[in-house]
A and B are shown apart, each in its own frame.
Chain A
Amino acid sequence: MKVTVDEDRCCGAGQCVMLAPDVFDQREDDGIVVLLEAEPDAALHGAVREAADVCPAAAITVHEDS
């Protein structure tokens, strides 16, 4: 799994950080997403998929094959 984020789309909802704090964080200045781990461990895949599914700005893309 490979994860990408779109900082311009991000609306800072913070759901991704609540769901997968090892993969996502937010910048302290403005709450915009920071990708901590672009290729997360398999154990985190479920949480990462959920974060992408519920992101209100559709700012997280999960590439399953890579």
Chain B
Amino acid sequence: MTLSDPGTGELHYPLPAPDPLDPPKEWAELRDRCPVARVTLPSGDHAQLLTRYDDVKQVLSDPRFPRVGGGQGARISDSGGVFDSDMASVLPQSGPAHQQWRRLVMRWFTARRMTALRPRIEAMADSLIDDMVAQGAPADLKAALGFPLPVWVICTMLGVPDSDRDKFSYWSDTLLNLTRYTREEIVAAQTEFLGYMQVHVRAKREQPGDDLLSELTTEPMADGTLLTDAQLVATGQGLLVAGHETTANMISKMVAMLLADRGRWEQLLADPSLVRTAVEEALRFDANPGIGMPRYIAEDVELTSGALPAGTTVMCSMGAANRDAGAFAGAEEMDLTRSPNPHLSFGSGPHSCLGQALARTELQVTLEVLLRRLPGLDLAVPVDELQRVEGLAVGGLRELPVRW
């Protein structure tokens, strides 16, 4: 049976979070008492919120349950944005066709490719830190490093010239912010982005470069067919949207978590070999990961916490699942040595994040370079003065004031 709301009245989602680095207090309560909770989304539609590790993992891993959209399942918000966009409708969303597309693009995101890309990411991080240091302390680490780095990397992968990076930042922001922009602004940005990518893809067909889109213009999928222009455009759009704001915000949140308790930063300075596990733990411990992953339950399913009937929209809270004491010992403690760390921050199963090796590499490199270049790095404001970004499908901090 699906459980009812705790207390009385509606539970509005996303849940309010009073402190910048701490989770909403409801997470623990929901996991304990109401692991399948009816919530009201910003659109006014309803969904069932999942907060336990086993339930979230089961739904995300099940290939029968697609993302919401295209009139299927609840609407997340009224203003459009990424969850209500038809941007990805030209790409297969499930089944063998999705797997074929994914495997074609996957070759650009293998561990080996990422190792090869690592020195370039490191050079970008060094260059951004040079600029930040030249401006002097205090600085906003988000604006100086966290936000530009991932967009630089994606633009490099897509063969986009450096001079167009700012446009890409803006487009990605409009698609992921659920409240900051008007519907008109979102539509205008999507139209502009689409137009840019159509011209860009045609240019890559005519004059291929050493980038992902150029390679995809000539590389067939397993069934021998090539991606169409529309599919190439959607692939480029999808990679920007999936890979920019997520990693950008994670860089700032990770650094904030590590500096909020000086002992964590010092532990890494003393033993930089902990960078890998520290990054995984920051991903797990992130109390502000955004609203989660909506899924449409296409067939009746039995979860550990109850049955869900076909037609239900669920919201999977990976953040709440990542702090489930049933899955992680000392779940409410940040342990930089935690291993293994099977957190769900990149999802799970056939739709788990395509770019996770890239995200991991960017986070690891950023942390390594910061530890090397700015060992005295510290927050320039008290932790409780950090402010969350409101309205993002991807959670983040408004800025991260630091000194060194």
A interface residues with partner B (beta carbon < 8 Å): 11-15, 17-18, 21, 25-26, 28-32, 49-50, 53-54, 56-58
Q: Which 5 A-B pairs have the closest CB atoms?
A: A31-B106, A30-B103, A14-B111, A17-B111, A53-B340
Which one of A18, A28, A32, A49 lies within 8 Å of B357 (CB-CB)? A18
Chain A CB count within 10 A is highest, among B106, B222, B352, B353, for B106
Per the bound structure, the CA–CA distance linking A4 and B63 in Å amounts to 22
B interface residues with partner A (beta carbon < 8 Å): 61, 102-104, 106-107, 109-112, 114, 222, 276, 339-342, 346-354, 356-357, 360
Other A-B contacts than A11-B350, A26-B111, 6 sampled, CB-CB below 8 A, are: A13-B353, A17-B110, A18-B357, A21-B111, A56-B349, A58-B61
Per the bound structure, the CA–CA distance linking A26 and B341 in Å amounts to 21
What is the chain B residue whose CB lies nearest that of A57? B349
Known: A11-B350, A13-B357, A14-B357. A54 touches B110 (CB 8 A): no
CB pair A25 B112 closer than 8 Å: yes
Which one of A12, A17, A49, A58 lies within 8 Å of B340 (CB-CB)? A49
Chain B residues lying within 8 Å of A21, measured Cβ to Cβ, are 111
What is the chain A residue whose CB lies nearest that of B344? A56
CB pair B352 A56 closer than 8 Å: yes
Chain B residues lying within 8 Å of A32, measured Cβ to Cβ, are 103, 106
| Minimum distance in angstroms from B309 CB to a CB of chain A | 26
| Minimum distance in angstroms from A32 CB to a CB of chain B | 7
Q: List 13 A-B residue pairs with CB atoms under 8 Å apart, sorted by A's residue number.
A: A12-B106, A12-B110, A12-B354, A13-B356, A14-B109, A14-B111, A15-B357, A17-B111, A18-B360, A26-B110, A30-B104, A30-B106, A32-B106
What is the chain A residue whose CB lies nearest that of B280? A54
Which one of B103, B276, B360 lies within 8 Å of A31 (CB-CB)? B103
Chain B residues lying within 8 Å of A56, measured Cβ to Cβ, are 346-349, 352, 356
